[in-house]
Structure 1
């Protein structure tokens, strides 16, 4: 049971990732939400919901919640609440922030509480008159019932092709129990004209484990 619980902890904290949090803060009184669905050929499915709210200009609060069903019918989930604050004044192009969170992952009757600490960097850039952004999120999640901890580095590079479409390439790296795991996730983000939402369509493939390649559909909204 303990070995199985650690696998669930790994699956959820490694592969369930937010839309594109980065180091940017939400302006006071504004929110960002996203919902996404993924499915592999073998019908491993996940559903995730993500929320950020600008409590103050220098304080963003949020929640990250997910639910999964494996091809064997096993059901599991996770939930994290967090705060994000800037590191320094962040007046230049480089943005820095730190994040603190608490949550739990579960499968059947096993519940695994954890603490999460993280630091993020991000900046915008221009490539031949096309605007883009890059971010790196590094975190450590501390599982509270064992001595295990999980280290993650998530990298995102995005480019706005037009006013309607953007492309993203994300690379997720994780280390747990002397094992390193990697996943690559390309996607297209579409914002219909005069709409307040964006549609994400992409894939997520675990390197070295192609049978877990998943199709991803997400919906983002700011208000």
Structure 2
């Protein structure tokens, strides 16, 4: 199994919303299965300008039947829509490197995302769709992904997320469903996400997830 199939199936997605100039968002997450397969991700966004956001993504995966693997990607996200548009669009271009054991594999990432705010009765929320492709520059392999997020603000401090990650890896389709709750204490700039991830059709490949989000 190649690195590209180990590390890109469950990326976090950010959607089309950009960071304000000079502001930063970070998310550190960890997930683990019953068999103690684990993954860790550190994700950063920094607003270079109001229309350009710098994105950093560092992930590591440890599987019981494979060497430790991971990847690091740096990219730029640019707005395609006006700031006051109801539907937001953005594109992303990035470069990075992946590894499995002692092998390193450079890659290029391209992405296009859409998102908008929604209302469900008296509850507000948002929806996003992100299409992306990761191009391996060593063996000319690639992963195509379509990720969806539906979020609702239950209260001032609690929100719910339902995310679906889909990927096509060398002709093999994989889909993962990931429900979670996010708790944001009042007058604090951090949030805690608690959830689960389960591969559709393979419930044994399920994981618990814990993440810390912070804005500054």
Gaps of 5+ in 1: none
Structure 1 residues 64-213: aligned runs within 5 Å: 64-72=57-65, 74-213=67-206
Q: Which shows bigger deviation, 118-127 or 203-212?
A: 203-212
Q: Find the aligned partners of 2:67 and 2:136 in 1 and give their Cα distance.
A: 21
**Can you give the 5+ residue segments of structure 2 that lack an aligned partner in the other structure?**
none
The CA deviation at 1:126 is 1.3
- Please give the root-mean-square deviation of Cα atoms over the aligned residues, in Å: 1.2
For residues 56-71 of structure 1, what are the structure 2 equivalents within 5 Å?
56-71=49-64
Q: Distance in 2 between matches of 1:11 and 1:140?
A: 15
Q: Runs of 4+ in structure 1 displaced over 3 angstroms?
A: none
Q: Determine whether 1:13 maps to 2:8.
A: yes
Secondary structure at the residue paired with 2:7? Answer: helix
Partner-residue secondary structure (3-state), 1:89: coil
**Is 1:22 aligned to 2:33, yes or no?**
no
Q: Is the 8 A contact 2:6 2:69 kept in 1?
A: no
Task: Tell me if the contact between 1:90 and 1:96 (Cα under 8 Å) persists in the aligned partners.
Answer: no
Measure the CA separation in 2 of the matches of 1:213 and 1:106: 24
User: Partners of 2:28 and 2:153 in 1: how far apart?
Assistant: 21
Matched, 1:54 2:52: no
Conserved 8 A contact 2:6-2:61: no
Could you say what secondary structure the match of 1:10 adopts?
helix
CA shift, 1:129, in A, is: 1.6
**Bigger helix share:** 1
1:182 is displaced (CA, Å) by 0.4
Is structure 2 residue 24 aligned with structure 1 residue 31?
yes
What is the CA-CA distance between 1:176 and the residue it aligns to? 2.1
- Structure with higher strand content: 2
Q: Distance in 1 between matches of 2:140 and 2:61?
A: 25
SS of the residue 2:8 aligns to: helix
Shift of 1:90: 4.5
Q: Is the 8 A contact 2:74 2:95 kept in 1?
A: yes
TM-score (norm 2): 0.96
Partner of 2:6: helix, strand, or coil? helix
Higher deviation after alignment, 208-217 or 196-205: 208-217
Once the two structures are superposed, residues 51-81 of structure 1 have per-residue CA deviations (whole angstroms, 9 ceiling, x without a partner) of: 0000000100010001121124731111000
Number of positions where the alignment pairs a residue of Structure 1 with one of Structure 2: 216
